[in-house]
Amino acid sequence: MKKIKILYRIIFWSKEKYARKMGMNIGKDCYIETRYISSEPYLITIGNNVQITSDVRFFTHGGDWIFRSKYPHIDTFGKIKVGNNVYIGNCALIMPGVTIGDNVLIGAGAVVTKSIESGKIVGGNPARVLGNVNDLEKKILGFNLKTKKMNYKEKRNFLLSLQEDQFIKK
């Protein structure tokens, strides 16, 4: 019966509702798009206005296995704390003991092995500081196309009508 309940929750509940039910502490106005929340979700605290995208994984424990023959009862854990106004990109991995400050952007695929100061942009494996949020804000405001309230068809037509220099280039 327990497995049926878990399966029901996975299929029919929103990912945020599932994470809360499993014990993750989640603030207000968050968007959670992953179910990979560790076997100890009660060790994870998420602030307000946080977006966690697809396939982000949280780890609250780690490689103790290699010591189990010598120390059969070894088990170590690290809490994860995510501040306010944070974006975590697809497939990022958040390791045990990491604290993520406020106003942080974590790039897709980043492997976060160390805590991140507020206002930083990080990416890579292992994640490293790539810049700061204030500089990014100044840069992207010039590319703001204000399509957020458009429906799919309006947005498509609008974007296809633009000149190349109106899009971000890397």
> For the domain 2-132, what is the CATH code?
2.160.10.10
Q: In this model, does residue 5 exceed pLDDT 90?
A: no
Catalytic residue among 20, 57, 61, 155: 61
For the chain, which residues make up each domain, given as ranges?
2-132
Q: What is the pTM of this model?
A: 0.85
CA–CA separation, 8 and 162 (whole Å): 45
73 a catalytic residue: no
Where helices occur in 13-122 by DSSP H, the ranges are: 15-22
Q: For 17-50, how does the pLDDT look when each residue is reduced to its tens digit (9 = 90+)? A: 888 888 899 999 999 998 888 889 999 999 999 9
Q: In this model, does residue 10 exceed pLDDT 70?
A: no
CA–CA separation, 143 and 52 (whole Å): 24
